Amino acid sequence: MKRKGIQQMSWKGIAAFTVLILILPFLLSTSLMITKATFAGIYTIVAVGLGLLMGFAGQISLGQAAFYGVGAYSTAILTATFGLSPWLSLLIAIAAPALIAYILGHTMARLHGYYLAMATLAFGIVIHVLLVEWKGFTKGASGFYGIPKIEFFGFTFTQGISYYYLVWAFALLVIVLSLNIIHSRIGRALRSIHDSEVASSSMGVDTGRYKMQVFIISAMFAGIAGWLFAHMSYSISPGSFGLDGSILFLTMVVLGGSTSVWGAVFGALLITAISSFVQALGSKISFITSDFEHVLYGLILMLVVIFLPQGLFPAIAAKLKPLLEYAGRKKKAGNITAVKGDQRA
């Protein structure tokens, strides 16, 4: 049903994005590029969750890569060491980060101020140490080998086009679920907290509870991404799940903009593209190393915070809006209900 006066999910936007995702592999010339595009999907899943947390619960997590790592290692160990089916271990890869998030959030009673940033930072460090030191389970710094592939009715998803579609199917699901949340009573409650916490609690919104729920959801999404990452590669190592990773996810969200789901998606895609480009340059120019990449992310983070605190996506959407509206008006003259107040979507 079409409703006037509220933001609704734009199925057109999702359809257009899905088409783009479907045809992208045909435009990419090398298998390396397909792999990068697959990673973009995995990162999108983490970034969308972190975007919900930052843009809608007003909290920062510096430990998102650790949730991602918990998801990846729990499925790796359960499938390779204990022979569980990857589909069953998916449940654990979602539940384990969710439980940790619940405990982290709960010990703080209400998520306030910088506590969550600090707690997740510490948590990220603990997880990284555990992954390196708990060799009996994780095989330590050299990495965990022998992770089985995901199968579906006899079909095996191997790195390449099939895995790309698997990852993006999950990413699209995560995007749709997140959009649904934002356009629900919970989403409105969360947005209202941002504008006036005192008014929303006077309307009966239990602000602490919803911040907590979003934190848990963001950890679950990271867990799904970890699961996808683990079964894509034959091996994983602690290096992918450290503070660098958490800051990379943060950069994606800040760059794209956290006030809309699409901002996080856009940020994840853009950062993956930049990273691929820099790595390609690195193979030709000797001073461009992975340290250079980190400096570059730091620089991006700084520039965006200073010049575009809302992130790129809202800025671009605001520029495009008059164009789209103009086109829309020409198409269905006289219909003015399409005018919306906000670029969040």
Nearer to another protein, 188 or 329 (CB): 188
Give the shortest CB-41-to-another protein separation in angstroms: 19
Nearer to another protein, 133 or 342 (CB): 342
Residue 63 in contact with another protein, rule: CB under 8 A: no
Residues between 203 and 262 with contacts to another protein, criterion CB under 8 A: 203-207, 210, 213-214, 217
Residues between 152 and 211 with contacts to another protein, criterion CB under 8 A: 177-178, 180-181, 184-189, 191-192, 194-196, 198-207, 210
Nearer to another protein, 176 or 312 (CB): 176
Give the shortest CB-72-to-another protein separation in angstroms: 23
Judged by CB under 8 A, the residue of 92, 241, 344, 345 near another protein is 344
Stretch that binds another protein, among 2-10, 54-62, 146-154, 304-312 (CB under 8 A): 2-10
Residues between 303 and 332 with contacts to another protein, criterion CB under 8 A: none
Give the shortest CB-220-to-another protein separation in angstroms: 10
Give the shortest CB-208-to-another protein separation in angstroms: 9
Nearer to another protein, 55 or 242 (CB): 55
Residue count, binding to another protein (CB under 8 A): 41
Give the shortest CB-191-to-another protein separation in angstroms: 6
3-state DSSP of the chain: CCCCCCCCCCHHHHHHHHHHHHHHHHHCCCHHHHHHHHHHHHHHHHHHHHHHHHHHCCCCCCCHHHHHHHHHHHHHHHHHHCCCCHHHHHHHHHHHHHHHHHHHHHHCCCCCCCHHHHHHHHHHHHHHHHHHHCHHHHCHHHCECCCCCEEECCEEECCCHHHHHHHHHHHHHHHHHHHHHHCCHHHHHHHHHHHCHHHHHHCCCCHHHHHHHHHHHHHHHHHHHHHHHHHHCCCECHHHHCHHHHHHHHHHHHHHCCCCHHHHHHHHHHHHHHHHHHHHHHCCCCCCCHHHHHHHHHHHHHHHHHHCCCCHHHHHHHHHHHHHHHHHHHHCCCCCCCCCCCCCC
Nearer to another protein, 179 or 230 (CB): 179
| CA 325 from centre of chain | 29
Query: For binding to another protein (CB under 8 A), which residues are involved?
Result: 1, 3-7, 177-178, 180-181, 184-189, 191-192, 194-196, 198-207, 210, 213-214, 217, 337, 339-342, 344
